[in-house]
A and B are shown apart, each in its own frame.
Chain A
């Protein structure tokens, strides 16, 4: 089977989630939320959402409590740094092998 079926005559691309694959696999650590500490949960109303605002990858939901799409979260840790209530902590991924040959 050839590539003519796509019917493109030039490089035409369409949007899809995960263009670069499951970017969650890039992580060396992942964010864990403590809902007890989150201001949203504590106040039970839309208030803070700073982690949502600052996530470069748009993987945090604007919900109470917030949810993180771990398939694509790159583990940058920005959310953990920005959270005024220290509700998010970064935890090292298990089984990480930093040896490139591994």
Chain B
């Protein structure tokens, strides 16, 4: 067990920066964007002030930021970048490239809406839009989870060679101060071993990476059959499929050392006896717990499933956790246009074939910084309960909590 708590008052961005520093990151490349900018400033300060022995590269774009991290990681450096919104969108090509090359990068996404029109406030459209790039996505509910998740992210990424995106809500967390238990450096050093790259960039053993790869397998000069493009893609999927084990093991080890366990893919709040479950991701899961309190007082058996790991999506665990529910109300701070909120789709797919009879309702909330009050969540659940009674079960599209 680690030494006693060292409580600091930190906003989310500073918590992230502390996590990066404690992880002894070696190359940082980032480009400022609201609301992530303070992360870049804080990390520059650490590097210039020699508190962190790293190279800080003030790049000219997010696309370059991730290209710097990608190549630095290939020579064997532990890297970090952070961004939001348009910055993450601008990285899209490099997100695929980094995952495809199996580089254990860690990226903090400070969740923000995407234009047009301009909006600097919070929702989760940015990271959700990148869900198919092969990155693990972890969402934090509070600032403690930000620092803890970043430290764990390196251990996860570097043990299975899959990059990890740690997402936290802009302003709601990034600019809100909270007490945070900051781990001691020597404990983090015990937890997180140095990075061992799988790539070799050495003139004495010259390898080339990411050359054109054919559709079909091809033999190398020694006659060994090597992958085709599709086999490499399969291995990435396999790594994500199997990563649940690593994520929960790392989270458990973290708990043993620091007293805060993350041996879960999602947070369960009073699910044991709940027949109505609210699903939310990120800081919204906190608000959902307040709503559940209110609903419990009114006599409903309500629990909260707070999604923590969105990729890989814990289908089996979710199905198990929702087994007893008759109503699942999913709140999404994103929208897959023409369909529904992304987490709602995932929940539905998790339940398919698992004989869970629950009715699923989806509400789109909090886009572009629109305040989400616990009261509104309560109303949405009540409304869903009502429609349940009236037998109006299947809604094709989600309902939006807005003024239209």
Contacts and interface: CB of A to CB of B under 8 A. Distances in A.
Contacts of A15: 206, 208
Interface of A is mostly: loop
Chain A CB count within 10 A is highest, among B101, B220, B226, for B226
A13 B227 contact: no
Interface in A5-23: 5-6, 8-16
Contacts of B101: 10-11
B207 A12 contact: yes
Nearest to B229: A11
B199 A10 contact: yes
A5 B217 CA distance: 12
Contacts of B210: 10-11
Contacts of B207: 12-14
Contact of B209 (A3, A5, A12): A12
B208 A13 contact: yes
Contact of A9 (B208, B213, B235): B235
A10 B220 contact: no
Contacts of A6: 220, 224-227
B215 to A, nearest CB: 13
Contacts of A16: 220-221
A8 B226 contact: yes
Contacts of A9: 102, 161, 198, 232, 235, 239
A22 to B, nearest CB: 14
B231 interface: yes
B211 A11 contact: yes
The bracket for how many chain A residues form the interface is: 10 to 19
Interface in B196-253: 198-199, 206-211, 213, 217, 220-221, 224-228, 231-232, 235, 239
B132 to A, nearest CB: 18
A15 B199 CA distance: 15
Interface residues of B, number: 25
Interface string B154-171: 000000010000000000
B76 interface: no
A5 B208 contact: no
A1 to B, nearest CB: 7
A14 B202 CA distance: 12
Contacts of A3: 217, 225-228, 231
B100 interface: yes
A14 B222 CA distance: 10
Nearest to B218: A3
A14 B226 CA distance: 12
Contact of A10 (B206, B209, B217): B209
B211 A10 contact: no
Nearest to A13: B208
A14 B213 CA distance: 13
A63 to B, nearest CB: 25
A14 B220 contact: yes
Interface string B75-118: 00000000000000000000000001110000000000000000
B209 A14 contact: no
A13 B209 contact: yes
A12 to B, nearest CB: 5
A13 B232 CA distance: 13
Interface in B178-203: 198-199
A3 B219 CA distance: 9
Nearest to A17: B221
Nearest to A18: B221
Contacts of A14: 206-208, 220-221
B232 A11 contact: yes
Contacts of A8: 226-227, 232
Interface string B54-88: 00000000000000000000000000000000000
Contacts of A11: 101, 209-211, 213, 227, 232
Q: State the 5 A-B residue pairs at the shortest beta-carbon distance, nearest first.
A: A16-B221, A6-B226, A13-B208, A10-B102, A3-B227
Interface of A: 1-3, 5-6, 8-16
14 contacts: A3-B231, A6-B226, A8-B226, A9-B102, A9-B161, A9-B198, A10-B209, A11-B101, A11-B211, A11-B232, A12-B199, A13-B211, A15-B208, A16-B221
